[in-house]
């Protein structure tokens, strides 16, 4: 049984021959993706949005230090004079509030330093705000890249099918190479888009703080700032988790796209990956509210959901490297399973013409032994 599985794996999935030509497909798809006007416009729009967002959002939230100081001073004298307060009473009032503005990251750093100095008085674990907003910021990035990559893949697969090019392509390159090349190209495009956005955001945030004396004051944007200034270990965790997530959703999207015959079917094909992505996003935000070790481990290890949760739990210190590695191994298992399904049916799906096949139909096809890899 095991040798049969091994043979099947070798023949259908991991054989080098199945991926011959991936590089050519990747380069061509990437070049055309970057050349497409719509994609260039998206890239520029996202960059401008990321550049403009920090100062505008800070100003809209009243986050300029100079303005805050001036406002405070201008209000202080009338505030004392009008009710006839004494100097002592005023000092007492001053002691009860503070106009100091600061980021949540700085607050957490201070708290962590204090905890290190005096472990007995330290609070237990991160607070709700920290958990929730870090999860929100990270989940927004992941949902964005996942949805973008899934829809790009579906569009790309359907475009090839509807243009009736697939048959010609299949005598030059194997189906798995065709899909892998596309996924990698989309991955590079989406990651570039993400890096451009985060880079622009970070740059804008730093420049705003330095030259305009403006800082973001919303906790979620503090967390976004934190995500753009994470330490190398966290970078590794975020990047690997994001790539595994994008790969998972991209393969799923590839299968769904191959079940379509015309561009009119694209919306229908988008439904299933979008539902899964949205469900993971919502669950990730919900579980971030619970600070229970059991829940933290569950959401970090649960396949697909772990893409949204594990890196955040790692950054919050709720799980360590072993748990994170285990989450990756499980996610890799999911990817291999999806690849196995894909390799069984993808070739037949590419040639299929007719009403859109739903994911359930495709699974039935795979498990009924229909279709199969090419000899």
Partner 1 sequence: MSLVVKNLTKSYGNKVVVDHLNFEMNGPGVYALLGTNGAGKTTSIRMMLGMLAKDEGEVLWNGAPLTIESCNVGYLAEERGLYPKYPLMDQLMYFAKLRSVTGDEAKKRIAYWAERLELEEYLYPGKAAKSEESAPRRRGFGVAKKAKPKLADQLSKGNQQKIQLMAALLSDPELLVLDEPLSGLDPVNSDLFRSIIREEIAKGKYLIMSSHQMETVEEFCTDITIMNRSKAILQGNLNEIKKGYGRVKLHLKVETDITGLIEEQGIGIVNEKEHEYNLSVTGEAQANRLLASLMERQISIITFDLREPSLHEIFVEKAGESNDAV
The answer to whether 201 and 228 are in contact (CB under 8 A) is: yes
Tell the smallest beta-carbon distance from residue 189 to partner 1 (Å). 16
For partner 1, the closer of residues 126 and 181 by Cβ is: 181
Q: Which residues bind partner 1 (CB under 8 A)?
A: 17, 20-21, 24-25, 28, 31-32, 36, 159-160, 163-165, 167-174, 347-348, 351, 353, 370-375
Tell the smallest beta-carbon distance from residue 267 to partner 1 (Å). 20
Tell the smallest beta-carbon distance from residue 302 to partner 1 (Å). 34
For partner 1, the closer of residues 6 and 370 by Cβ is: 370
Q: Side-chain half-sphere of 367: how many Cα atoms within 13 Å?
A: 7
Give me the phi and psi of 125, to 5 degrees please.
65, 175
Tell me how many degrees the CA angle 136-278-36 measures, rounded to the nearest 5.
95
For partner 1, the closer of residues 66 and 370 by Cβ is: 370
State the alpha helices, DSSP H only, in 61-127.
65-81, 87-96, 104-117
For partner 1, the closer of residues 21 and 245 by Cβ is: 21
For partner 1, the closer of residues 166 and 183 by Cβ is: 166
Tell the smallest beta-carbon distance from residue 169 to partner 1 (Å). 7
Tell the smallest beta-carbon distance from residue 361 to partner 1 (Å). 13
Tell the smallest beta-carbon distance from residue 371 to partner 1 (Å). 6
C-alpha distances out from residue 254 to 270, 339, 349, Å: 10, 10, 10
Tell the smallest beta-carbon distance from residue 372 to partner 1 (Å). 4
C-alpha torsion 128→129→131→136, nearest 10:
130
DSSP three-state, residue 199: helix
Tell the smallest beta-carbon distance from residue 184 to partner 1 (Å). 16
* DSSP codes, 262-315: SGGGHHHHHHHHHHHHHHHHHHHHHHHT---HHHHHHHHHSTTHHHHHHHHHHH
For partner 1, the closer of residues 17 and 70 by Cβ is: 17
For partner 1, the closer of residues 111 and 374 by Cβ is: 374
For partner 1, the closer of residues 10 and 69 by Cβ is: 10
């Amino acid at each position: 049984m095991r040798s049969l599985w091994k043979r099947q794996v070798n023949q259908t999935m991991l054989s080098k021959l199945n991926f011959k030509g991936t590089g050519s497909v990747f380069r061509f798809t990437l070049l055309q993706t970057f050349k497409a006007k719509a994609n260039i416009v998206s890239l520029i729009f996202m960059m401008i949005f990321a550049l403009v967002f920090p100062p505008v959002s800070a100003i809209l939230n009243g986050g300029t230090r100079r303005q805050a100081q001036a406002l405070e001073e201008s209000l202080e004298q009338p505030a004392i004079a009008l009710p006839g307060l004494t100097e002592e009473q005023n000092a007492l009032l001053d002691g009860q509030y503070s106009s100091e503005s600061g980021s949540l990251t700085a607050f957490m750093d201070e708290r962590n330093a204090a905890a290190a100095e005096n472990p007995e008085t330290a609070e237990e674990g991160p607070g709700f705000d920290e958990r929730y907003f870090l999860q929100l910021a990270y989940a927004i990035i992941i949902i964005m890249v996942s949805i973008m990559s899934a829809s790009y893949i579906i569009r790309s697969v359907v475009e090839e099918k509807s243009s009736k090019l697939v048959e010609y392509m299949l005598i030059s390159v194997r189906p798995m190479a065709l899909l892998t090349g596309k996924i990698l190209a989309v991955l590079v495009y989406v990651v570039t888009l993400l890096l451009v956005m985060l880079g622009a955001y970070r740059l804008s945030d730093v420049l705003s703080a330095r030259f305009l004396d403006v800082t973001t004051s919303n906790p979620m944007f503090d967390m976004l700032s934190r995500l753009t200034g994470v330490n190398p270990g966290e970078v590794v965790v975020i990047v690997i988790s994001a790539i595994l997530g994008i790969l998972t959703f991209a393969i799923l999207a590839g299968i769904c796209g191959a079940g379509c015959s015309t561009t009119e079917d694209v919306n229908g094909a988008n439904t299933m990956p979008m539902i899964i992505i949205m469900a993971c996003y919502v669950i990730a935000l919900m579980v971030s509210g619970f600070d229970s070790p059991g829940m933290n481990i569950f959401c970090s290890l649960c396949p697909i959901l772990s893409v949204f949760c594990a890196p955040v739990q790692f950054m919050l210190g709720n799980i360590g490297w072993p748990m994170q590695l285990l989450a990756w191994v499980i996610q890799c298992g999911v990817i291999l399973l999806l690849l196995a399904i894909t390799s069984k049916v993808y070739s037949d799906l590419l040639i299929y013409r007719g009403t859109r096949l739903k994911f359930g139909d495709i699974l039935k096809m795979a498990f009924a032994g229909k279709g199969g890899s090419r000899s």
